[in-house]
Structure 1
Amino acid sequence: MEVVVNRQDRRKRRLVRLFLRLLLISLVFAAACAVGLLSYTKMQGPPPLNVTQTTVYYGADQSIIGEHHQGENRHWLPISSIDTEVIEATLAVEDRKFYSHFGFDPTRIGAAVLANLKTGSKSQGASTITQQYARNLYLSHDKTWKRKWNELLYSLRLEMNYDKDQILEGYLNTVYYGHGAYGIEAAAQHYFGKTAEQLNLAEASMLAGIPKGPSYYSPLFDLERAKKRQGVVLQSMVATGYLNQIEADEAHLEELTFVQNELDQPSTIGPYFQDTVEKELIQTIGIDQALFEAGGLKIYTTLDPQMQKEAEKWVASEMPDSELQTALVAIDPRTGDVKALVGGKDYTESPYNRATEAKRQPGSSFKPFLYYAALENGYTAATTLLSEETTFTIDEGRGSWSPSNFNDNYADDFITLLQATAFSDNIYAVKTHLLLGTDKLVEVAERVGVESKLKNHPSLALGTSGVSPFEMARAYSAFANGGKRVEPRLIRKIVDSEGEVLFEAEPEMTQVLDPKLAFIMTDLMTGMFDPYLNAHTSVTGGSVSHLVSRPIAGKSGSTSSDSWMVGFTPQLVTSVWVGYDKGNLQKPAEGQIAKRIWAQFTEGALKGQLKKEFPVPAGVVGVKMNPENGLLATEDCPTHRVSYFVEGTEPTKPCPPPAADGQPETEVIDEATKEKENLINRLFRWLGN
């Protein structure tokens, strides 16, 4: 019996030793595998953390005016800017051992595997925060063993190459909270209209419960279900020691206010402007397309949200329910900053940007460039030419051309440059254009910023070459700011997701006009709003002059297909176009819409700002001039308007008293002789200054 017992003992000892050896070998093998796996993941290096983020557009007042993202609305925040209660709630409900495991939790994995084997499904998950972060970055959400294995490998790579706070920060910035909101900042803004740093306990615990099933636990879909999930989160926080029961109960009972209940509500502040900014980012500034698509940029623009809303308000109010279209551009002439931009009646119906892309005939709104050239070549506000039906010989005698005034309304007498500007007399303009030489108008227009190709033709005096509303606002800025050509500025600064400034623009201005002549041209353009100048016809801006309560200058223009109003104050230049994308204007009333939009926008946009006068530069004098003949007003000829001249070119001859028949005495003089004498005399006076 003793022999049998000894044999049994020896067999047991051998089995124990074998077991221990196998266990040791297994442990060594497991350790070797673990070392090999860790070495492999370490050698693989840190996996890239590139995540598409939301690019944010800011207005001139630092408010958010729009966002751009590739279907994932995400704003990256450093962990230091995330509310502590958000972090605690997330750790409590998602991964209590986050700071102690190596990327996976064997205990949770084992329990999940047993549960899945029992049920024959893969419904139970045991993913840690690191695993979820890896899945969000690199993998799909398919429930397969292959995906789980890859998830484990990526988790190990993350843990081997990044610290815990970096991983937690990445998770909180990539996890999906529903409704297109990726990351805690986008979720806080979407659900509560506040930053992730401002969330309270009730809000933090509500958001922490959503990622388990964003469409199932969203409080915007089912508040009762979301509150139950919030309760689970709060109890998890109690269990982990982050809260006591009283604090948890109070947070669960707190009534929450949700500020947004629609999905991915798009920005409506200046969509045409934002398109223009995006185009400038890539085509002009040179931001790489891939960088822009990756997002995370903060783009600080020049748009004034209140002015933009004012522009959209008057477009909506004045434009009829038809296919008639419009465009508006408003620029601060002191800086070149684009303050408002409208490219059409309705962006959702037509994103085509007429403000920057459409080239339309500006009509008489092009005349100020011609008349500035005339001022440079000896004209003054008192220069007179005959306004009557006229046929011009053009093309070196090979052709003829008979332009007409609006409604065939002529003075049949000499009129001054002041009147010609206020009445928009076409005959005066064409005569001036031909007397100067047609290249002069082209040169001035290009000097102030018109970049479209201009046809050097007699008809250019009447605005027959297409330009954009954007160009016209830019070009008129030189009259408003004392003769400086501005570079339109839409973007002030671009900052990337790391806080690095990629681009910054300061105002760019170049003196291209004589400040004295720029002011005189501005003063001439105030005449279109002065009913006191009405004579054989009315001033072209009389119908809207009562709508603006501050000093204004400008010029309207019209063709068979286009209606324009370009005008300005010392603070704001605004260009408005109205017309059909194809075809002519159909009703006379359509020709007045641009003026009304311009006037009402100008008044509303500058509400509360100083009513500034146009500053008179040194070397310019104002005299009381009879607007009909350009002579000095007297007691016998009291009709006058204060007009401005370069010192030494002002009228010196007094207006004669009325003749016996009640008409002023005037010299009968051949028009050609008078024109030549006026131009030569003024040219010599101008050269002498």
Structure 2
Amino acid sequence: MPKKRRSKTERMFMLAFLVMLAGAAGLTVQVLHQLPDVEKISSYIPSESTILYSSDGKILARFHREENRQVVPLSKISVHFQNAVIATEDPRFREHHGLDFLGIIRAGVKNFAYGRVVEGGSTITQQLARNLFLTKKKTLLRKLAEALLALRIERRYTKEEILELYLNQVYLGHNAYGIESASNLYFGKRAAELTLSESAMIAGLIRGPELYSPYRNLKGSKLRQIFVINKMLEHNLITEREGRSAAIESLNFSPKNLRSLGEIAPYFIGFVLHDLTEKYGEEMVYHGGLRVYTTLDSSRQAAAEAVISRFVSEEGKKYNFSQAALISIDPRTGYIQAMVGGANFFESKFNRAVQSRRQPGSSFKPFIYTAAVEQGIMPGTVLMDTPTTFSVWPTRWNPDGKWSPKNFDGKFRGPVTMRYALEKSLNLPSIKLLERVGIQNAVEAAQKMGIQSRLEPALSLTLGASEVSLLEMTSAFGVFADGGIRVEPTTVTKIENRDGVVLYSHSVTEKRVLDENVAAIMIDMMRGVL
């Protein structure tokens, strides 16, 4: 009887085992049918940040939506970092075919001994499969799909291809995806330049990017770095001497790289971003990995921001203003080298350098005098600075159409030379000069020099009554400096796609709009102002 009972029990266990086996087989078949095609990896193009560079090679900004990533080939990733990741995440990466059964057993034993998870069993290939195709939900189906995908990926791709994909995909904290973005974020350098010590620190972030971030938990980050170094020693990837040296090396972090749009030349960056999205669309700008080389000079920009900050602080209360703007343009190339659109970008993102139109006042007078010189009226010509009433178009505020302007100081000087009138910014002689030159001729002179805003054809044009932008005024004055040559202002010299193919290359186009002698005479007259 006992024998019979055992036989019956054995049969029940066998039946249960077969049912479980059949269920597992059915589940595997079901998952296999639902697996994504790993061939898609060949044509996979990850979302990549667009990067803006200054003219002196500094990164100004990165444009991205969800993921800040810059893809680089394996050859441009430090071997130290490659080894650090392999030692920590998958020591038998070069030996297994997607699944590491020994690693799973070893991790299980170690986790059981410690009573908590201290080591994972997923290979680099499994992690890549999960990152590319699956969710992070911890279910049996997901783990099975992950394992099957890993096997397929290993059959299709080389170890180098798998490692390159993984190192460009892995999340490393503070919205940095991939080692190139993380290397810049933490150390302000390229992935190829990482030292052993730096590599160990970043590799240690994979298991807990936010938990071990040196910007949030420096002590935890250091302990994790030592753990990685010990793993590299354990697997003979470094010598003891290298390990000791890496452990005591002082790391120079770059917390400034945590800054977002708005920290460095924010108004300029916003201006460029607007133009980029107009030309290429948001999808390309935020996901396409463009490399945009701008005209901005970081040292000039820093000086410009300091000037505006000091000017608003020192003069603002005295003259009751809280905003100011500044643009610096190279007149020979049209390159915008500095742009400040306001006193504080975070308080007001309105760019007063390009979006705002204001009455330029007496700074508009040189365009009137330019039209006069073009007609042969020379600096020594005598103009009358005397009280005068002009007939103008009647308005609601001036129904009789009579206008009797005065000079800034309320004084009249009688006969003066044209040079003196410009130097002292005298209103009456300048208005009379505009009458003599012709309003339309003055408008055309300003327009061909770069003023694009609508100019009111009235005598008040002399006093800068028509609103223009600072960008227009700065660019137009550049014509004087460049001997009568007009060059369109620009912010970008070159744009490349993620593969380095040049999409746009700026070429400076010169156009003579003033006779060289006219420009020279105007410069000579304006010297007296200074």
- State if a TM-score over 0.5 links the two structures: yes
The answer as to 2:86 corresponding to 1:88 is no
Q: In 2, are the aligned partners of 1:336 and 1:508 still within 8 Å (CA)? A: no
Q: Which is further off, 69-78 or 439-448?
A: 69-78
Quote the Cα distance in structure 2 between the aligned partners of 1:38 and 1:245.
49
1:576 corresponding residue in structure 2: none
Partner of 1:319: 312
SS of residue in 2 equivalent to 1:357 = coil
Kindly state the Cα deviation for residue 219 of structure 1 after the two structures are TM-superposed.
3.7
1:528-571 CA-to-partner distances (Å, cap 9, x unmatched) read 12xxxxxxxxxxxxxxxxxxxxxxxxxxxxxxxxxxxxxxxxxx
The 2-side partners of 1:99 and 1:473 are apart by 61
Q: What amino acid does structure 1 have at the position aligned with 2:82? A: I
1:178 to 173, 197, 207: 173
Q: Which residue of 1 aligns with 2:266?
A: 271
**Is residue 260 from structure 1 mapped to residue 240 from structure 2 by the alignment?**
no
Distance 1:235 1:35, change over 3 A: farther
Is this contact kept in 2: 1:179–1:263, CA < 8 A?
no
The one of 366, 369, 374 aligned to 2:367: 369
Residue 300 of structure 1: aligned partner: 293
Structure 1 counterpart of 2:356, from 355, 358, 373: 358
How far has the Cα of 1:223 moved from its partner?
Answer: 4.0
Q: CA deviation at 1:148?
A: 3.0
* 2:206 paired residue number: 211
Q: With CA pairs under 8 Å and 6+ residues apart, which has the higher RCO, 1 or 2? A: 2
Distance 1:435 1:181 in 2: 65
Q: Render the CA deviation track for 1:330-361: whole Å, top value 9, x for unaligned.
A: 11111111111110011111111000000100
State how far apart, in whole Å, the 2-side matches of 1:164 and 1:519 are: 68
d(CA) in 1 for partners of 2:493, 2:142: 45
CA–CA separation in structure 2 for the residues paired with 1:502 and 1:149: 44
Is the CA contact 1:373–1:440 (under 8 Å) kept in the aligned structure 2?
A: yes
1:630-641 equivalences in 2 (<5 Å): none
After superposition, what is the alpha-carbon deviation per residue over 1:613-637, rounded to whole angstroms, capped at 9, x for unaligned? xxxxxxxxxxxxxxxxxxxxxxxxx
Q: Measure how far apart 1:38 and its partner are.
A: 9.6
Please list, as runs of the form range in 1=range in 2, the aligned pairs for 1:531-680 lying within 5 A after superposition: none
Q: Find the aligned partners of 1:324 and 1:223 in 2 and give their Cα distance.
A: 40
Distance 1:403 1:138 in 2: 75
Matches of 1:180 and 1:313, distance apart in 2: 31
3-state SS of 2:193 partner: coil
Q: In structure 2, what residue type is equivalent to 1:301? A: T
What is the rounded CA distance, in whole Å, between the counterparts of 1:387 and 1:181 in structure 2? 66
Q: Give the superposition deviation at 1:244.
A: 3.8
Q: Please give the alpha-carbon distance, in whole angstroms, between the structure 1 residues aligned to 2:82 and 2:112.
A: 33
Does structure 2 conserve the Cα–Cα contact (< 8 Å) formed by 1:42 and 1:161? Answer: no
- Read off the aligned partner of 1:203 and give its amino acid letter: E
How far residue 250 of structure 1 moved from its aligned partner, in angstroms, is 4.1
The CA distance in 1 between the partners of 2:31 and 2:146, in whole Å, is 17
In 2, are the aligned partners of 1:42 and 1:160 still within 8 Å (CA)? Answer: no
Q: Would you say the 8 A contact 2:185–2:257 is kept in 1?
A: no
Report the alpha carbon displacement of residue 145 of structure 1 after superposing the two structures with TM. 3.1
Q: How do residues 124-203 of structure 1 correspond to structure 2 at under 5 angstroms?
A: 125-152=120-147, 154-155=149-150, 158-159=153-154, 161-203=156-198
Q: Which amino acid in the other structure matches residue 392 of structure 2?
A: I
Per-residue deviation at 1:199? 2.1
Q: Deviations over 1:297-344 (max 9, x none)?
A: 221111111111111111111213665211111111111111111100
The structure-2 alpha-carbon separation of the partners of 1:409 and 1:170, relative to structure 1 and needing over 3 Å to count, comes to: farther
Greater per-residue helix proportion? 2
Q: For residues 229-248 of structure 1, what are the structure 2 equivalents within 5 Å?
A: 229-248=224-243
The CA deviation at 1:71 is 5.2
1:467 corresponding residue in structure 2 = 468
8 Å Cα contact 1:175-1:182 kept in structure 2:
yes
CA contact (8 A) 1:56 1:66 kept: yes
Match of 1:289 in 2: 282
Q: CA deviation at 1:113?
A: 8.0
- Inter-CA distance 154–350: structure 2 relative to 1 (3 Å threshold): farther
Q: Is the 8 A contact 1:202 1:251 kept in 2?
A: yes
- With over 3 angstroms needed to count, the CA separation of the structure-2 counterparts of 1:220 and 1:386, relative to structure 1, is closer
Q: 1:680 corresponds to which residue?
A: none
Distance 1:339 1:231 in 2: 45
Against the structure 1 CA distance between its residues 116 and 235, is the aligned structure 2 distance closer, same or farther, given a 3 Å change threshold?
closer
Q: Which residue of 1 aligns with 2:520?
A: 519
- Aligned-pair distance for 1:243? 2.7
CA distance in structure 2 between the partners assigned to 1:152 and 1:518 by the alignment? 75
- Measured in 2, the distance between the counterparts of 1:116 and 1:358 equals 64
Cα deviation for residue 257 of structure 1 reads 2.1
Deviation at 1:117, TM superposition (A): 11
Q: Which residue of 1 aligns with 2:492?
A: 491
Please state how far the C-alpha of 1:192 moved relative to its aligned partner: 3.1
User: Any gaps of 5 or more consecutive residues in structure 2?
Assistant: 1-6
Alpha-carbon spacing, 1:57–1:262, altered in 2? closer, same or farther (3 Å): closer
| Structure 2 CA distance for aligned equivalents of residues 346 and 277 of structure 1 | 18
Q: 1:115 to 1:429 in 2, by over 3 A?
A: same
Q: Figure out how many residues of one structure are paired with residues of the other and give that number.
A: 505
Q: CA deviation at 1:478?
A: 1.0
Deviation string for 1:374-420 (max 9, x for gaps)?
Answer: 11223111111211111012349972211211121211x21111011
Question: Does the 8 Å CA contact 1:47/1:158 hold for their aligned counterparts?
Answer: no
Backbone CA RMSD of aligned residues = 3.5
Q: 3-state DSSP class of the match of 1:346? A: coil
> How far did residue 256 of structure 1 move?
2.5
Q: Does 1:74 align with 2:72?
A: no
User: Distance between the aligned counterparts of 1:149 and 1:281, measured in 2?
Assistant: 44
**Structure 1 residues 251 and 406: CA distance shift in structure 2, 3 A:** closer
Answering whether residue 331 of structure 2 is matched by residue 333 of structure 1, we say yes
State the Cα deviation string for residues 23-70 of structure 1 (Å, max 9, x = none): 9xx99x979x78994997558643753333333222122222333333
TM-superposed deviation, 1:474: 0.8
2:325 partner SS? strand
Cα deviation for residue 295 of structure 1 reads 4.7
Q: How many Å separate the matches in 2 of 1:124 and 1:136?
A: 19
1:454 matches 2:455 = yes
Partner Cα separation in structure 1 for residue 491 and residue 257 of structure 2:
29
Give me the whole-angstrom Cα distance separating, in 2, the residues matched to 1:55 and 1:150: 33
The equivalent of 2:345 in structure 1 is 347
Q: 1:219 to 1:116 in 2, by over 3 A?
A: closer
Where does residue 399 of structure 1 map in the other structure?
401
Shift in alpha-carbon separation, 1:257–1:36, aligned structure 2, 3 A: closer
Specify the alignment match of 1:431 in structure 2. Answer: 432
Name the TM-score, length of structure 2 as normaliser.
0.85
Aligned to 2:47: 52
Once residues 472 and 74 of structure 2 are traced to their aligned partners in structure 1, the CA distance between those partners, rounded to angstroms, is 46
Separation (CA, whole Å) in 1 of partners of 2:391 and 2:76: 75
Q: Give the unaligned 5+ runs of structure 1.
A: 1-10, 530-689
1:404 alignment partner AA:
K
Q: Based on CA coordinates, which of the two structures has the bigger radius of gyration?
A: 1
Look up the SS of the partner of 2:280 in the other structure.
Answer: coil
User: What is the identity percentage for the equivalent residue pairs of Structure 1 and Structure 2?
Assistant: 39
